[in-house]
Amino acid sequence: MKIGLIIFVLCGIAFIIGTMISSPKVCTSCKPLEFKAMAESGEYKIIDIRTEEEYAVGHLVNASQIDYYKTDVFKNYLDTLDKNAKYLIYCRSGNRSRNAMEIMRNKGFKNVADLAGGITAWTTQGLPVVK
């Protein structure tokens, strides 16, 4: 009986460890290389929440733009999105996107991650932007 219990416990531990190894960790505030990998997966909609002027200077490939500072426009835009889809958001330094991520979660979005350090951290890593 004791051997059966030990085997059962060991199998459970092996299953948990196997799941942890095989399931990639999803970040909520992602470093640039993590964010890049998620963006390249094609599973996420990328949203640049900077101003139009900031966006024009350089943005991530396939990013749509909505100005976080235009509060009503921003919140109305969020209401048009699928709350079950996956989103990556970023701004210049990470402050706006952290706040926006909280707003999105409060509105019921389940899969939102932001770029830690914003596009500034992205370009510091030498990662590409388009104009």
1 in any annotated domain: no
CATH of the domain at 104: 3.40.250.10
Lowest-confidence range among 8-12, 24-28, 86-90? 8-12
Residue 60: the pLDDT is 98
Calculate the CA dihedral of residues 54, 108, 38, 81 and round it to 10 degrees. Answer: -60
Residue type, 127: L
**91 among known catalytic residues:** yes
Give pTM, 2 decimals. Answer: 0.80
DSSP element (H, E) containing 32: helix 32-40
Residue 26: the pLDDT is 66
13 in any annotated domain: no
**What is the residue range of 38's domain?**
26-124
Tell me the backbone φ, ψ of residue 89, rounded to 5 degrees.
-125, 150
In the DSSP assignment, the letter for residue 108 is: T
101 in any annotated domain: yes
Are residues 81 and 63 in contact, defined by beta-carbon separation less than 8 angstroms? no
pLDDT (average), residues 62-74: 97
109 in any annotated domain: yes
pLDDT (average), residues 11-17: 44
17 in any annotated domain: no
Spatial neighbors of 79 by CB under 8 A, at least 6 apart, are 107
